[in-house]
Structure 1
Amino acid sequence: MTYDDPPPPLAAQANALRSLLRLAELHPELPGAYVVSHNIDADRIDVQLDNPSSFEAWREALTASPASVRSKPCEDRELLEFTAPAHPSTIRVYAIFPRLTNDAGASA
Structure 2
Amino acid sequence: MLPDIDMTNPLTAQTAAFLAFAQLAELHPTLPGAYITTSQISPTEASVLLDSPADLEAWRLATHTEVDDVQLADHKGERKLHFTAPLGRITLKVFTVFAPASVVVSA
* Residue 64, structure 1, aligned to residue 104, structure 2: no
TM-score by length of 2: 0.87
Equivalent runs, 1:94-105 vs 2, <5 Å: 94-101=95-102
TM-score by length of 1: 0.86
Runs of 4+ in 1 over 4 A off after TM superposition: none
Structure 1: unaligned runs, 5 residues or longer: none
The alignment yields a C-alpha RMSD, in angstroms, of 2.1
CA apart distance, 1:103: 9.5
Q: What's 2:55 paired with?
A: 54
Q: What's 2:15 paired with?
A: 14
**What per-residue deviation string (whole Å, max 9, x for no partner) do you get for residues 27-62 of structure 1?**
010111101112111011111012100010000100
Q: Secondary structure at the match of 1:20?
A: helix
The alignment covers a number of residue pairs equal to 104
Contact 1:20 1:45 in 2 (8 A): no
Structure 2: unaligned runs, 5 residues or longer: none
Equivalent runs, 1:22-33 vs 2, <5 Å: 22-33=23-34
Distance in 2 of aligned mates of 1:9 and 1:103: 44
Change (3 A) 1:64 1:103: closer
